[in-house]
């Protein structure tokens, strides 16, 4: 039995996925907090909120994050900081309209000690003031909105993932060196897409690259990319840089190949373009796509191999960057809760400042002064392995 047998889970009924129903069938109760009574005598159980999409285009990312967080708990007797965990899950949905009320419910109604999760940059920007003002710690385990660890940095908001500008800027110089002509930029039309493109453009143009054109496609609504693919062809670009994740990434990469662009126009992107279940669905259409990311299942380290095997066993599929970011958020909380003087937001953020280096499957990383993850970015290329496509690690990016 997985992690559900050793700690209690609360699940929102709205947006329940098949995976959640299967887990619920394994022992957790729907719509009510189980409330494990086996807490450490020093502090009792700790209630943690998990805010991830269980519905919408990013639902698979949310499922991976939950599986990563649960794996960490499973490997640590269901405890963080030596205390039993009552994990309350809420559906972020497709953005702030659903994500903000879900975050508020976790804090005001469920009274969690800290919240982990948030996939979408727009949600992260939408909940930032709420966490700041209520002095409740938020550990963002995906959303890359630049301002969260920049202009709108908060004592109460920390990030175990990446910033949009960094992950994309890292790829710019490599593409400038490799591309023979200009590059067309295309992304989902919302905060993350805009920042990914801006970050890539900055790194790419600083290294002498030329941009052929730029287009933002309606987020969560675009299924047919043909008009955009025609515009790319007409631009005469040598290569393309794209930011899509989840279902949009599957459609974009498959249609890119079906449209006949893959052979002539090299495709680059932030690693979300070919990550996890997305890559499995793209199959051979993704072979040759090059991306930047701070994780790959193919990282050749003992720590990663051990993690990949454990995740595969518990989740029944290979891990993803989303799973790693949430797994690491659990590791961060484990350290912080064991050091904190109490459960208040002030106590916990003081302890977060002292967690030091995290021994992650992605490689060791630590928080920088702005609470962002300071880490290595890898250049990855999709290659077909034994019947499946993988993101081979072909280098490290500066
Ligand atoms: C974001 O909105 O920040 C985001 C979503 C999916 C993958 C990467 C970034």
**Cβ(192) – ligand 1 distance below 6 Å:** yes
Mutate to test the pocket of ligand 1, among 61, 65, 120 (most ligand atoms within 8 A of CB): 120
Cα separation, 166 vs 159, in Å, equals 13
Atom of ligand 1 lying closest to residue 190 CA = 2
Q: What's the whole-number mean pLDDT along residues 186-195?
A: 98
Q: What confidence tier does 14 reach under pLDDT thresholds 50, 70, 90? A: very low
Residue 181 has pLDDT above 50, yes or no: yes
**Cβ(169) – ligand 1 distance below 6 Å:** no
Atom of ligand 1 lying closest to residue 143 CA = 3
Across the chain, mean pLDDT equals: 90
Atom of ligand 1 lying closest to residue 191 CA = 2
Ligand 1: centre distance to CA 154 (Å): 20
Q: What's the whole-number mean pLDDT along residues 318-335?
A: 98
Cα separation, 83 vs 360, in Å, equals 22
187 φ/ψ angles, rounded to the nearest 5 degrees: -160, 165
Q: What confidence tier does 8 reach under pLDDT thresholds 50, 70, 90? A: very low
193 φ/ψ angles, rounded to the nearest 5 degrees: -60, -45
Residue 11 has pLDDT above 50, yes or no: no
Name the percent of the chain lying above pLDDT 70: 89
Ligand 1: centre distance to CA 190 (Å): 10
Half-sphere exposure of 392 (CA within 13 A, CB side): 13
What SS3 class is residue 369? coil
Q: What confidence tier does 387 reach under pLDDT thresholds 50, 70, 90? A: confident
**Cβ(138) – ligand 1 distance below 6 Å:** no
Residue 308 has pLDDT above 70, yes or no: yes
Q: Out of 1-5, 233-237, 376-380, which region has the weakest mean confidence (pLDDT)?
A: 1-5
Mutate to test the pocket of ligand 1, among 93, 220, 272, 295 (most ligand atoms within 8 A of CB): 272
Q: Which is more confident, 180 or 358?
A: 358
**Cβ(154) – ligand 1 distance below 6 Å:** no
Decide: 50 and 63 in contact? Cβ < 8 Å. no
Q: What is the pLDDT of residues 106-137, one digit of tens each?
A: 999 999 999 999 999 999 999 999 999 999 99
Ligand 1: centre distance to CA 247 (Å): 12
Which pLDDT score is estimated for 128? 98
Residue 28 has pLDDT above 80, yes or no: no
Q: What is the pLDDT of residues 229-240, one digit of tens each?
A: 999 999 999 999
Q: What is the pLDDT of residues 49-97, one digit of tens each?
A: 999 999 999 999 999 999 999 999 999 999 999 999 999 999 999 999 9
Mutate to test the pocket of ligand 1, among 65, 144, 219 (most ligand atoms within 8 A of CB): 144
Decide: 379 and 171 in contact? Cβ < 8 Å. yes
Which pLDDT score is estimated for 18? 29
377 φ/ψ angles, rounded to the nearest 5 degrees: -100, 140
**Cβ(272) – ligand 1 distance below 6 Å:** yes
Which pLDDT score is estimated for 386? 75
**Cβ(119) – ligand 1 distance below 6 Å:** yes
Cα separation, 357 vs 195, in Å, equals 27
Which pLDDT score is estimated for 42? 53
Which pLDDT score is estimated for 385? 73
pTM of the model: 0.90
């Amino acid at each position: 039995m997985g992690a559900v047998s050793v700690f209690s889970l609360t699940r929102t009924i709205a947006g329940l996925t098949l995976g959640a129903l299967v887990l619920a069938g394994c022992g957790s109760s729907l719509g009510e907090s189980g409330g494990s009574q086996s807490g450490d005598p020093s502090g009792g159980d700790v209630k943690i909120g998990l805010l991830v999409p269980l519905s919408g285009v990013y639902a698979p990312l949310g499922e991976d994050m939950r599986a990563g967080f649960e794996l960490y708990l499973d490997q640590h007797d269901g405890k963080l900081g030596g205390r039993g965990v009552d994990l309350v899950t809420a559906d972020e949905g497709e953005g702030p309209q659903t994500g903000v009320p879900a975050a508020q419910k976790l804090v005001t109604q469920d009274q969690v000690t800290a919240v982990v999760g948030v996939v979408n940059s727009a949600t992260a920007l939408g909940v930032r003031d709420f966490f700041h003002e209520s002095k409740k710690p938020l550990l963002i385990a995906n959303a890359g909105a630049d301002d969260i660890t920049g202009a709108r940095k908060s004592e109460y908001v920390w990030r175990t993932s990446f910033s949009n500008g960094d992950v994309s800027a890292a790829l710019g110089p490599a593409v400038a060196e490799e591309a023979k002509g200009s590059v067309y930029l295309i992304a989902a039309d919302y905060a993350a897409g805009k920042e990914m493109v801006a970050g890539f453009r900055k790194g790419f143009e600083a290294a002498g690259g030329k941009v052929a054109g730029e287009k933002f496609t309606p987020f969560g609504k675009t299924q047919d990319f043909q008009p955009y693919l025609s515009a790319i062809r007409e631009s005469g670009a040598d290569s393309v840089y794209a930011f899509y994740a989840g279902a949009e990434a599957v459609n974009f990469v498959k249609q890119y190949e079906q449209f006949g662009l893959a052979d002539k126009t090299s495709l680059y992107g932030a690693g979300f373009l070919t990550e996890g279940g997305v890559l499995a669905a793209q199959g051979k259409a993704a072979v040759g796509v090059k991306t930047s990311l701070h994780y790959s299942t193919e990282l050749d380290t003992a720590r990663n191999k051990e993690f990949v095997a454990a995740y595969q066993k518990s989740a029944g599929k290979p891990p993803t960057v989303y799973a790693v970011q949430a797994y690491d958020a659990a590791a961060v909380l484990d350290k912080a809760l064991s050091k904190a003087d109490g459960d208040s937001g002030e106590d916990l953020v003081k302890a977060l400042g002292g967690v030091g280096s995290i021994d992650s499957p992605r490689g060791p990383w630590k928080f920088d002064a702005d609470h962002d993850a300071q880490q290595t970015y890898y250049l990855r290329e999709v290659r077909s392995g034994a019947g499946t496509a993988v993101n081979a690690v072909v280098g490290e990016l500066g």
